[in-house]
Structure 1
Amino acid sequence: MTSKFISEKKVGGLLAILFGCISLNEGIQLYPLNKNLLTGDHAFPGFLGILLILFGLSVFFDRKIEEVQPTLPSGRTRLRIILSILILFIYCLFIMVVGYVMSTLIVSITLLKMIGNYRWLFSILLGAAITAFLYYLFIVILKIPFPIGYFTF
């Protein structure tokens, strides 16, 4: 039997608060290098630190204690999880050969079909929409260079 003070929620809350303080400290150290409060290198670590501290406090002081025994997935669910992880590892290698756009399109369609169990037409349309959105966001707006591979877009 475990103590009421030392539970998974308390430890998780304390870890979130600790990482939140570290992130907030990093944001505070980066603040003098910027001109504005909401933009700059300090904004994301500061915002993330505040959120981690708030969520850590809410988890730490949560009074609802559940005693649920976790069960590992089995059967088809386990196969989907393993295949999803395998597909994402293949995606990391595939992106260098085929390029960002085509590999993202293929992987998003595959994951939508496999995990979401959607029809092929819907998976293709949604995968194309996701790929187009990510292309516009990262390549057009943010101008981040991604691997081109065989296909140039």
Structure 2
Amino acid sequence: MTNETLKGLFLAHQGELQAYLMKQLRNAEAAADLTQETFLRYAERTPTAVASIANERSYLYRTAHNLAVDYVRQQSRRRTDLTAGEAFSDIADDRPNLEEETAARQRLAQISATLAELPELTRKIFILNRVDGLTYAQVAERLSISDSSVQKHLAKALALITRRLRETNSR
């Protein structure tokens, strides 16, 4: 196929194909792009394949139609439905507000400071049990002490932490 043949085909059918695609897509830019793509696909065919086309106009319309279907499918995959902001107002925000976060940080700092006041063994027992989640028996075994010693140290630690938090809250 010569450039002149393709040019003649383009001049003869470009306007009607673009109008057809515009009617299908209601998008002038997409219609123009797909019209060019239709002729590009025709031009890329081998001379043998072009010779086998009985009706060039029909071939162009079928190609344009197929490209339009692909375009619509692609657009529907890309489209995301916008949700009005009011739809999100019913969803509870489970994040703490700034005041709650500040209070939690202060409590944590107070607990850390209180833990620093504890004797080393009491602090280790508290951390192993309350932070690491070990049972009294596991803590006792790890530190080679009795279960009752673990309980006494934990009671001491909890009493001090509770007292310090109450003092902070009463200020």
Largest Rg, 1 or 2: 2
The one of the two structures with greater contact order (alpha-carbon pairs below 8 A, sep at least 6) is 1
Same fold? TM cut 0.5: no
User: Shorter-chain TM-score: which interval?
Assistant: under 0.3
TM-score, normalised via structure 2 length? 0.21
